[in-house]
């Protein structure tokens, strides 16, 4: 029958996983304060960033050889190019997040399957990709994926940025998988029991009763994951994708001015910050709102 087993297992899961809400391992730097892995920029970060940029611009201009254009004009000159690179970062983050979320949802549901082998396989893939450094996943995808795919008669080219996206999507998938598993198991057991008593099938219970309640719980950590992913797209520069980080390096090589080095990277950091900050604020306010109810 298995119903009894399922019950006690779900119960055990509920207890065991209370403190095991999803964390993003590769970026868990400031563990110990608040939610592990949560990226929580605040106004002080913005001020510090702006001050640092201003200081390096002023100091750099003072050190510059006479006759060279000021750092600010140089930054502005390269802004359109930087923007195209940054758009690629955003595109990568969108695609990786979408693909990773879909795949991760199914992997997470497999993790709570009643069939032990399915559960085991899903658990293994989740742990493997969640604990692998993102950069390692990127390199794997770069090296293992072909430069083009042949499906039927059509040839689909796989440029480097797509392969990098696949690597990041794997990381997202594993994190979303844990998010789904944790959220499902955090739903009180009584919801399953009441649904079962009302003759809902397990599938109906999952899709109509459990998962809708999970969405609310998963939204803040999911948004947090996205903010971390956006920052993570800069890793693609290491595997040679022409995103904003790579372009910043190219610009610095072209300008060949040492005083430009720090302001340029700070400027890029500002771009990432400006994009991620609203997401982080929205995450925090959503979390607060959900806590109240």
Residues at the contact surface with ligand ATP, assessed by CB under 6 A = 7-8
Coil, strand or helix: which one is 252?
A: helix
Minimum CB–partner distance for residue 190 and other proteins (Å): 4
Residue 161 contacts residue 92 (beta carbons within 8 Å): yes
CB of 11 to ligand ATP, least distance (A): 6
| 291 is a site residue for other proteins (CB under 8 A) | no
3 binds other proteins (CB under 8 A): yes
209 contributes a contact to other proteins by CB under 8 A: yes
Q: Is 15 in the site for other proteins (CB under 8 A)?
A: no
Nearer residue to ligand ATP within complex by CB, 9 or 40: 9
Cα separation of 80 and 200, whole Å? 56
Retrieve residue 20's tokens.
Answer: 């095991």
Question: With CB cut-offs between 5 and 8 Å by kind, which of ligand ATP, other proteins, none does residue 1 bind?
Answer: other proteins
Q: Which residues of 100-112 are buried (b: 16+ CB within 10 A; e: fewer)?
A: bbebbbebbbbbb
Backbone phi and psi for residue 58, each to the nearest 5 degrees, phi listed first? -65, -50
Return the biggest CA–CA distance within the chain.
84
Give the residue with the Cβ less far from other proteins, 58 or 215.
215
Contact present, 176 and 108 (Cβ < 8 Å): yes
Shortest reach from residue 219's CB to other proteins, in Å: 13
Nearer to ligand ATP by C-beta: 61 or 196?
Answer: 196
Among other proteins, ligand ATP, none, what binds residue 143 when CB lies within 5 to 8 Å by partner kind? Answer: none
Point out which span in 2-10, 35-43, 127-135, 166-174 binds other proteins (CB under 8 A): 2-10
Residues 162-201 that bind other proteins (CB under 8 A): 188, 190-191, 193-194, 196-200
Q: Which stretch, 56-64, 207-215, 260-268, 277-285, contacts other proteins (CB under 8 A)?
A: 207-215
Q: How many CA atoms lie within 13 A of 88 on its CB side?
A: 23
Residue 65 interacting partner from other proteins, ligand ATP, none (CB closer than 5 to 8 Å by kind): none
Instruction: Answer whether 224's CB lies under 8 Å from 283's CB.
Output: yes
Q: Which is nearer to ligand ATP, 1 or 253 (CB)?
A: 1
Enumerate residues 6+ apart whose C-beta is below 8 A from 217.
Answer: 183, 186, 290
Q: Is 7 exposed, middle or buried (0-12, 13-18, 19+ CB in 10 A)?
A: middle
Contacts of 71 (CB under 8 A, 6+ apart): 56, 57, 60, 61, 64, 259, 260, 263
How far, in Å, CA of 70 to CA of 20, rounded?
Answer: 51
Report if residue 208 touches other proteins, rule: CB under 8 A. yes
Q: Which is nearer to ligand ATP, 7 or 119 (CB)?
A: 7
Q: Considering only residues 131, 204, 258, 285, which one is a binding residue for other proteins as defined by CB under 8 A?
A: 204
Q: Quick one: what does residue 200 bind among other proteins, ligand ATP, none, with the CB cut-off 5 to 8 Å set by partner type? A: other proteins
Residues forming the site for other proteins (CB under 8 A): 1, 3-4, 7-8, 188, 190-191, 193-194, 196-200, 204, 208-209, 212-213, 216, 293
């Amino acid at each position: 029958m298995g119903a009894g087993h399922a019950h006690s297992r779900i119960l055990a899961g509920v207890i065991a996983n209370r403190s095991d809400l999803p964390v993003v391992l590769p970026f868990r730097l400031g563990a110990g304060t608040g939610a592990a892995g949560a990226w929580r920029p605040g106004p002080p970060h913005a001020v510090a960033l702006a001050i640092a940029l201003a200081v390096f611009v002023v100091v750099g201009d003072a050190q510059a050889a006479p006759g060279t254009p000021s750092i600010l004009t140089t930054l502005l000159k390269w802004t359109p190019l930087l923007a195209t690179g940054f758009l690629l970062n955003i595109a990568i983050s969108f695609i990786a997040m979408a693909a990773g979320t879909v795949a991760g949802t199914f992997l997470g549901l497999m993790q709570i399957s009643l069939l032990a082998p399915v559960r085991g396989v899903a658990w293994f893939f989740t742990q493997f990709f969640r604990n692998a450094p993102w950069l390692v996943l990127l390199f794997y995808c770069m090296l293992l994926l072909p430069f083009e795919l042949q499906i039927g008669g059509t040839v689909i080219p796989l440029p480097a940025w797509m392969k990098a996206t696949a690597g990041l999507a794997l990381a997202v998938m594993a994190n979303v998988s844990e998010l789904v598993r944790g959220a499902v198991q955090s739903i009180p057991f009584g919801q399953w029991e009441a649904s079962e008593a009302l003759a809902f099938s397990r599938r109906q219970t999952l899709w109509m009763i459990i998962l809708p309640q999970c969405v609310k719980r998963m939204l803040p950590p999911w948004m947090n994951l996205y903010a971390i992913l956006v920052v993570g797209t800069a890793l693609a520069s290491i595997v040679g994708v022409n995103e904003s980080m790579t372009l910043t390096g190219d610009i610095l090589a072209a300008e060949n001015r040492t005083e430009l080095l720090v302001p340029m990277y700070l400027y890029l950091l500002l771009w990432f910050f400006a994009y991620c900050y609203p997401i982080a604020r929205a995450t925090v306010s959503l979390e607060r709102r959900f806590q109240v109810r």
